[in-house]
Amino acid sequence: MARQTRQRQAIRRVFEDAQRPLGASEVLEAAGSQTPGLGMATVYRALKGLVGEGWLTPVELPGEAPRYEPAGKKHHDHFRCRRCDRVFEVECTVRLPKLRGFLVEDHEVVLSGLCPQCATGRRR
Ligand SMILES: [Zn+2]
Ligand SMILES: [Zn+2]
């Protein structure tokens, strides 16, 4: 199998296991050890390629480097832990207001605070 294919497969597996949006450095950390030749440049290239194929979609949080998650998930919101900087998927709890004359198609909510591990001081 071509090296590029193997690298992308490893990266896809990292996302499937994580079940939360990941940044490039998190992908490298998770996939790097079992994937020979994987470095930051190859991770960036693979992420770009997977976005181009429509397998990944960027998750842009204000003031943050982009993270990515598998495309086509049903609507959910995100939670960012201010201590460990990880981002999690959370269920949407938003009830959209009725805005006369507007056709509301989407919204984005980013909750922040401490994840369960950080809140209890059990992070690693
Ligand atoms: Zn945390
Ligand atoms: Zn929502």
Structure tokens at 95: 């009830």
Distance 79 CA to ligand 2 centre (A): 11
In angstroms, the Cα distances linking 73 to 11, 26, 29, 55, 91 are: 18, 20, 24, 11, 12
Distance 88 CA to ligand 1 centre (A): 10
Distance 122 CA to ligand 1 centre (A): 9
Residue 28 pLDDT level (bands cut at 50, 70, 90) = very high
Structure tokens at 67: 């993270």
Which of the ligands is closest to the CA of residue 111?
Answer: 2
pLDDT at 97 over 90: no
- Whole-number mean pLDDT of the chain? 92
Q: Among 24-33, 74-83, 89-98, which is the least confidently predicted range?
A: 89-98
In angstroms, the Cα distances linking 9 to 1, 39, 46, 49 are: 11, 15, 10, 12
Considering only CA atoms, which of 30, 53, 55 is closest in space to residue 43?
30
pTM of the prediction?
0.87
Structure tokens at 19: 């079940």
Give percent of the chain with pLDDT exceeding 70: 98
How many H-runs (helices) and E-runs (strands) does the chain carry? 4, 6
Q: Among 41-45, 49-53, 65-69, 104-108, which is the least confidently predicted range?
A: 104-108
63-90 pLDDT, tens digit each:
899 999 999 999 999 999 999 999 999 9
Work out the average pLDDT over 3-29. 94
Strand order in the sheet with 77-81: 87-90, 77-81, 110-113
- Res 62: pLDDT: 87
